[in-house]
Amino acid sequence: MQIFLDTANIEEIKEISSLGILDGVTTNPSLIAKEKKDFKSTIKAICDIVKGPVSAEVIATDYEGMITEAEELVKISEYVVVKIPFTLDGLKATRYLSDKDIPVNMTLIFSPNQAVLACKAGARYISPFVGRLDDIGHDGMELAIQCQDIVDTYGYETEVIAASVRHPEHVLKIMENGIDIATLPHKVVMQMLKHPLTDIGIEKFLSDWKNANK
């Protein structure tokens, strides 16, 4: 299972990267805007830390604009993956970029039908948004599982990134269902680290040790 961090915050990325468990990073325009820093230099800084796939999203919504932005983004670093929203123009742009060996992460995937089209267009990654479907009363994890089934059944080279992950229970389901990648907010990685019985266990070991060595 690959773990990506879903953030544009350099400190968070440095911290998780230093644990040696980080495979990549995903950003989106909202996450970039939150940091109030220059887009391209932020992406460059992330790539230099992660040295793995880093998704940077286009802002343009038209085919030509997406291609122009994508070609600029991949100049930033060999690790840049162009993130393209799932639209008709996005699909066309994905096919064009994939044919040029530029990796694309098709984002805002909300149905298996969108997922299969993205795979057929040559997307390197597809990102079903789990939490945002849960938010409107659907089963977001079901979509991520369907995406993985499509990829596995037809043998696409696309990898599935379960995105919009909100809590450790989501991560558990991602693992149970063999989904390729989970992109996690920093907070969720921290929640995964924690177990009260580990803390209680350490406390007990240390107090037993102290008592025995009085």
Shortest reach from residue 28's CB to ligand G3P, in Å: 4
Quick one: 136 or 212, whose CB is closer to ligand G3P? 136
- Amino acid at site 41: S
Read off the tokens for 102. 């530029």
By CB under 6 A, is residue 26 in contact with ligand G3P? Answer: yes
Residue 20 burial (CB < 10 Å; 0-12/13-18/19+)? exposed
List the x/- string, 132-171, binding to ligand G3P by CB under 6 A. Answer: x------------------------------xx-------
Q: How far is the CB of 185 from ligand G3P (least distance, A)?
A: 7
Examine the residue annotation and report whether 83 is marked as an active-site residue of this protein.
yes
Tokens of 52: 């793995």
Query: Measured from the CB of residue 178, what is the shortest distance to ligand G3P in angstroms?
Result: 20
Indicate which single residue of 9, 28, 77, 98 sits in contact with ligand G3P (rule: CB under 6 A): 28
Nearer CB in complex with ligand G3P: 175/200: 175
How far is Cα 48 from Cα 36, in angstroms, rounded to an integer?
A: 19
Judged by CB under 6 A, the number of residues near ligand G3P is 9
Closest CA to 123 of 158, 175, 88: 158
Q: How far is the CB of 7 from ligand G3P (least distance, A)?
A: 9
In the complex, minimum distance from the CB of residue 99 to ligand G3P, in angstroms, rounded to a whole number: 25
Closer to ligand G3P by CB, 77 or 164: give it.
164
Q: 5 or 145: whose CB is closer to ligand G3P?
A: 5
Q: Give yes or no for residue 58 binding ligand G3P (CB under 6 A).
A: no
DSSP line for 162-181: EBS--SHHHHHHHHHTT-SE
Q: Which is nearer to ligand G3P, 6 or 69 (CB)?
A: 6
End-to-end CA distance of the chain: 46
Q: What one-character-per-residue DSSP string does 10-51 give? A: HHHHHHHHTTT---EEE--HHHHHHHTS-HHHHHHHHHHHH-
> What are the distances in angstroms from CA 172 to CA 20, 121, 175?
20, 30, 5
Residue of minimal Cβ distance to ligand G3P: 164
Supply φ then ψ for residue 128, to 5 degrees: -70, 135
- List contacts with ligand G3P (CB under 6 A): 6, 26, 28, 129, 131-132, 163-164, 183
Show which residues are catalytic: 83
